[in-house]
């Protein structure tokens, strides 16, 4: 968290305030480890008086394209927030990076857990990042046929595969649980034990839950905010995630919480059965 819908919402909410404007200077780096590349000193020097030309998203990375073929790349990780605030706003103890804009406003990077990171990358660095990531699940080039071929090339449990950013980019715990519930697939089911029709159902479910998450401006349980500090509303529409012991919205059975790949995982055991034959498959 934040996952693809949250990062996409931040991207869209940043655009009106950043594109065509300039970063005047970096005025605060309170937690130097936030800057992954280059050094904090070089980061500050290279960001001085830089024009913002576009804002993209790749997986869970926010990519703020600058002039001179460089980009400020931000990964929010668990608790990162990137917001635009007025000139007089004062950073709190969790605000680790502050950029001053030519509009007089500031961009705050706030992160209570300090896991988020920033990079200043050139074209080659961006290409290297892109190569590490799987396809975008909402991209038109990832057709149902392409998704089926992608999954069939893999082995292992469905949830583990879907969380792997090298397999498919941008999914995290919330939206994987939601997609598996919608497709009526158990997170411990294996690729070898599901049909092509079930893979197609999973493909459709992934796209549906991500599109819905974006439409509702992301899921906020605690820290996630958009660029104006507003919460998302998708948490009010979740079918299974964070609903342990509540009735399944499809069949009425109680939602269970189990652990899969060290993640709290929410399922309806009735709607998402795992046959005994699947348990030993790879």
Q: Are residues 203 and 105 in the same domain?
A: no
Cα dihedral 242, 4, 8, 145 sign: negative
Q: Are residues 15 and 93 in the same domain?
A: yes
Residue 43 corresponds to which tokens in the numbers above? 């980061």
Q: Are residues 113 and 149 in the same domain?
A: no
Q: Are residues 30 and 66 in the same domain?
A: yes
Q: Are residues 177 and 248 in the same domain?
A: yes
pLDDT at 216 over 60: yes
Per the model's pLDDT, the better-predicted residue between 246 and 277 turns out to be 246
pLDDT at 282 over 60: no
Final residue of a structural domain among 131, 162, 195:
131
**Dist CA 4 CA 19 (whole Å):** 21
Q: What share of the chain is helix, strand, coil (3-state, %, to 5)?
A: 30, 25, 45
**Dist CA 81 CA 230 (whole Å):** 11
Residues in the chain: 282
pLDDT at 101 over 80: yes
**Dist CA 247 CA 180 (whole Å):** 17
Q: Are residues 30 and 90 in the same domain?
A: yes
Final residue of a structural domain among 110, 131, 152:
131
Q: Are residues 125 and 8 in the same domain?
A: yes
Instruction: Tell me, yes or no, whether 280 lies in a domain.
Output: no
Whether the CB-CB separation of 96 and 29 falls below 8 Å is answered with yes
Query: CATH number for the domain including 105?
Result: 3.20.190.10
- pLDDT tens column, 156-173: 999 999 999 999 999 999
pLDDT at 275 over 80: no
For the residues of 88-154, what is the DSSP string, one character each? T----TTEEEEEEETTS-EEEEEESS---EEEEEEHHHHHHHHHTS---TTSTTS-HHHHHHHHHT-
Whether the CB-CB separation of 191 and 162 falls below 8 Å is answered with no
Q: Are residues 159 and 205 in the same domain?
A: yes
**Dist CA 192 CA 186 (whole Å):** 13
Q: Are residues 126 and 226 in the same domain?
A: no
The question of whether 2 is a catalytic residue gets the answer yes
Instruction: Tell me, yes or no, whether 261 lies in a domain.
Output: yes
- Report how many domains make up the chain: 2
- pLDDT tens column, 222-244: 999 999 999 999 999 999 999 99
Q: Please report which confidence band the pLDDT of residue 126 belongs to, taking 50, 70 and 90 as the band edges.
A: very high
Instruction: Tell me, yes or no, whether 181 lies in a domain.
Output: yes
pLDDT at 278 over 60: no
The question of whether 5 is a catalytic residue gets the answer no
Mean pLDDT of 28-54: 98
Instruction: Tell me, yes or no, whether 189 lies in a domain.
Output: yes
Whether the CB-CB separation of 158 and 180 falls below 8 Å is answered with yes
Q: Are residues 162 and 97 in the same domain?
A: no
**Dist CA 162 CA 177 (whole Å):** 10
Of 2, 5, 137, 187, the catalytic one is 2
Whether the CB-CB separation of 37 and 29 falls below 8 Å is answered with no
Which domain, by its residues, includes 17? 4-131
How far is the CA of 106 from the CAs of 41, 62, 86, 111, 270, in angstroms?
Answer: 19, 18, 6, 16, 50
Cα dihedral 66, 82, 76, 217 sign: negative
Q: Are residues 79 and 48 in the same domain?
A: yes
Final residue of a structural domain among 131, 160, 177:
131
Q: Are residues 50 and 119 in the same domain?
A: yes
Q: Please report which confidence band the pLDDT of residue 277 belongs to, taking 50, 70 and 90 as the band edges.
A: very low
Looking only at the bridges linking them, the beta strands covering 70-75 and 61-66 are antiparallel
pTM of the full structure: 0.95
Query: CATH number for the domain including 193?
Result: 1.10.8.50
Mean pLDDT of 39-60: 98
Instruction: Tell me, yes or no, whether 274 lies in a domain.
Output: no
Of 3, 6, 8, 178, the catalytic one is 3
Residue 267 corresponds to which tokens in the numbers above? 């399922």
Q: Please report which confidence band the pLDDT of residue 1 belongs to, taking 50, 70 and 90 as the band edges.
A: confident
Instruction: Tell me, yes or no, whether 138 lies in a domain.
Output: no
Q: What's the confidence (pLDDT) of residue 276? A: 43
Instruction: Tell me, yes or no, whether 136 lies in a domain.
Output: no
Cα dihedral 245, 248, 252, 256 sign: negative
**Dist CA 201 CA 214 (whole Å):** 20
Of 114, 154, 207, 263, the catalytic one is 263
Of 50, 60, 117, 225, the catalytic one is 60
Instruction: Tell me, yes or no, whether 153 lies in a domain.
Output: yes
């Amino acid at each position: 968290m934040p996952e693809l819908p949250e990062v996409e919402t931040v991207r869209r909410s940043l655009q009106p305030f950043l594109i065509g404007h300039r970063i005047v200077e970096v005025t605060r780096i309170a937690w130097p480890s936030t800057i992954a590349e280059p050094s904090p000193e070089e980061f500050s020097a290279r960001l001085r008086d830089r024009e913002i030309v576009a804002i993209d998203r790749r997986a869970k990375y926010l990519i703020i394209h600058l002039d001179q073929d460089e980009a400020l790349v931000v990964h929010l990780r668990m608790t990162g927030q990137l917001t635009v605030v007025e000139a007089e706003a004062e950073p709190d103890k969790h605000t680790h990076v502050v950029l001053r804009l030519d509009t007089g406003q500031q961009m705050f990077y706030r992160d209570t857990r300090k896991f988020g990171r920033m990079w200043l990358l050139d074209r080659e660095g961006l290409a290297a990042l892109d190569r590490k990531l799987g396809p975008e699940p909402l991209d038109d080039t990832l057709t149902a046929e392409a998704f089926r071929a992608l999954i069939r090339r893999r082995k292992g449990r469905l949830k583990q595969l879907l969380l792997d950013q090298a397999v498919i980019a941008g999914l995290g715990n919330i939206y994987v649980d939601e997609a598996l519930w919608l497709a009526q697939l158990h997170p411990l089911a294996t690729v070898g034990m599901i049909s092509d029709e079930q893979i197609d159902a999973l493909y459709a479910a992934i796209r549906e839950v991500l599109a819905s998450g974006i439409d509702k401006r992301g899921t906020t349980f605690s820290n996630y905010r958009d660029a104006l500090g507003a919460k998302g509303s998708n948490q009010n529409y979740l079918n299974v995630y964070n609903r342990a012991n509540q009735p399944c919205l499809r069949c009425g059975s109680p939602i269970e919480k189990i652990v899969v790949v060290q993640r709290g995982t929410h399922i309806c055991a009735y709607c998402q059965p795992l046959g005994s034959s699947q348990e030993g498959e790879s």
